Amino acid sequence: MIRERFLEFTQLGKSYDTPQGPAVIVKNFNLRMHEGEFVCIIGHSGCGKSTVLSIVMGLNEPTSAVVHGTGQCAPRRGTGQGPPEPCCQAAHS
């Protein structure tokens, strides 16, 4: 059975401007999830795990990304609004 793609990030990036130049937090992160999958993001302290999750939940805007979703979960870029509440619940479950 082919499951529908639920959420996909391609070349997700997040950086912040600093006086010393850009601080790159996440670079070229790719993720594809299908409905019903359980995904864990692991890595050492400071590698960007929380930043990726905050982008998924719509709390933080990516600096660069191609985002594909079902329409329910993909953050609405440029609006300053996060995804609807059911997405945040799915992201935590």
Q: Is the whole-model pTM more than 0.95?
A: no
Q: List the chain pLDDT tens, one digit each, 93 residues.
A: 557 777 888 889 999 999 999 999 999 999 888 888 888 899 999 999 999 988 888 888 889 887 776 545 444 444 445 444 434 333 333
User: What total number of domains does the chain contain?
Assistant: 1
- CA–CA separation, 46 vs 25, rounded Å? 8
Q: Please tell me what DSSP assigns to residue 81.
A: B
What percent of the residues of the chain are helix, what percent strand, and what percent coil, each to the nearest 5?
15, 40, 45
> What is the spatial distance between Cα 51 and Cα 25, in angstroms, rounded to a whole number?
8
Query: Cα separation of 33 and 79, whole Å?
Result: 24
- 66 lies in which domain range? 5-92
CATH number assigned to the domain comprising residue 59: 3.40.50.300
